[in-house]
Amino acid sequence: MKVCVVGAGPAGIAAAKVLLERGSDVTVFDKYPRVGGIWAPGGCYDGLANQSALRIFEFADLANRLHFAGAVDTQRYLEHYARTFGVLGRLRPRTEVTAVRAVDGPGRLGASGWTVDFRSPESEGEQRESFDQVVVASGAHHHVHVPELPGRAAFGGTVLHSNEVRYGTFTGRRVIIVGGGKSALDLATRAAREASSATLVQRKVNWMVPERFLLGLVGYKWILFTRFGEALLPRYHDPACVRPLDRIDERVKRVLWWLIIRDIMLSTGLARLPKELRPAQALPFHLAHAGVMPRGYTRAVRRGRLTAKVSEVEAYTSEGLRLATGEEVAAEVIVFATGHRRVFPFLDPRVRIHDAAGRLRLYRGIVPPGADGLGFVGFRQVFNNMMGVELTAHWLARHLEGTLRATPTEEAVDERLAWQEQVLPGSGGYDFGPYDIHCADELMHDMGLPAHRTGNPLAEYLLPGGLAHRYADLAGG
């Protein structure tokens, strides 16, 4: 089969590697000069760093010994992976896909293949090629979301999305960071070091997890990436993935979460901040929105180098921003770390990707029911997204071959979205958050492969299981 992969970030190169191993003729298009997606030069804000501890940010077939690595080392690992498994030879860099269209024919969309339009500096105008199948791995962090606020013309300073922050953006200037996620806290912590004044404005305070739990003694993967840890979460929606351990009594769960919350508060330093700068709701609520607490954030707040406020942003002023509290904050640079839109402007509009609420409508977070030969990799987000995209690639390859024992249906998508909205509110049909192992079990079950990866029950349930190297034997399956 002739397959087009759109994007050469982690998801794209993993998909290309798996498809090449299974005999497909693969072409990878990417708009950047080098592989890596957001990790490539210019892919995201300057200073982007990895929040993955040792053995987390790695693929199953290529160990990565980096620990909380920077963007340069992360991109170098991804390029090494692409070179090792023959993906670089299939890459067309600096080539932007402008349209992916189903070829008209009898039956379902895509039954007769797909055409892909693209452009590059080396060619005049747009070009077109035909493919049997298309894998969309264009990334979830490229189409920025910046809220439209009144008064923009009155503000004479610089307004950026977090993706646009570069070296020197903050130096000696008054800076406001808007947002409450991992990127916002990263940039606010950086602004506290570099700017003349730094203010963080967030609608609500999200939970952040420490690099190490139990007062700094145990790395987070030993807590969050185990079957026992996931058993404390609300029950997964797919009954095939619910184990006896997942049926822990709710009263026991509440006690354990109380202990975990107390440890997080102490280990992250949140306990030393004013009450209004702590999360308002108890875990596991909104755990999907958590990241790893940036080093130095709470210290910067305590020492007055960073002013943190909890409020909606109402409008621009001539000097900065007006908050919903009525307070005005002065700035020369305003950075919106307000997320991204998961949209696909190049894709055939006849393919139904979103529902009326804007949530992604993909079966298993991978394929749109009703479209043949089309799949998405990188839009089934879990905490360990490297493992997530690799397992997704294996699942999708089998789906495209017609060897899965699961059939995509609209009803299954509806059931999953209803559960997701209840358990992971605001996840947009995309973020499965802390359910790393449950998500892996689900895909393994669909592929007819064993979900338990060790022969030792203690190791299976108490050691980190949400790691890619546990799934290093899938290529021949």
Q: What is the mean pLDDT of residues 88-116?
A: 92
Q: DSSP letters of 114-180?
A: EEEEEE-TTSSS-EEEEESEEEE---SSSSB-----TTGGG--SEEEEGGG--TTSSTTSEEEEE--
Question: What is the pTM for the complete model shown?
Answer: 0.94
- C-alpha to C-alpha distances, 177 to 152, 163, 189, 192, 268, nearest whole angstrom: 16, 12, 10, 11, 20
Residue 74 and residue 389: Cα distance in Å, rounded?
16
pLDDT at 45 over 90: no
Distance of CA 296 to the CA centre of its chain: 23
Q: For 213-270, what is each residue's pLDDT tens digit?
A: 988 889 999 988 999 999 999 999 999 999 999 999 999 999 999 999 999 999 999 9
Bond from prior residue into 457 cis (ω within 30 degrees of 0): no
Cβ-based neighbour number of residue 185 at 10 Å = 27
Spell out the domains of the chain, with CATH numbers in brackets. 2-143+341-471 (3.50.50.60), 152-336 (3.50.50.60)
Residue 57 and residue 139: Cα distance in Å, rounded?
16
Per-residue confidence (pLDDT) for residue 105, from 0 to 100: 73
Per-residue confidence (pLDDT) for residue 476, from 0 to 100: 63
pLDDT at 107 over 90: no
Per-residue confidence (pLDDT) for residue 123, from 0 to 100: 81
- Give residue for tokens 């892909």: 116
- Give residue for tokens 């020369």: 332
Residues of the chain above pLDDT 70, percent? 100
Cβ-based neighbour number of residue 448 at 10 Å = 12
Specify which residues 59 forms β-bridges with: 62
Q: For 277-318, what is each residue's pLDDT tens digit?
A: 999 988 987 787 788 999 999 999 999 999 999 999 999 999
Per-residue confidence (pLDDT) for residue 253, from 0 to 100: 94
Residue 139 and residue 73: Cα distance in Å, rounded?
20
* CB-based burial, 265-282: b 16+ in 10 Å, e otherwise: bbbbbbeebeeebebeee
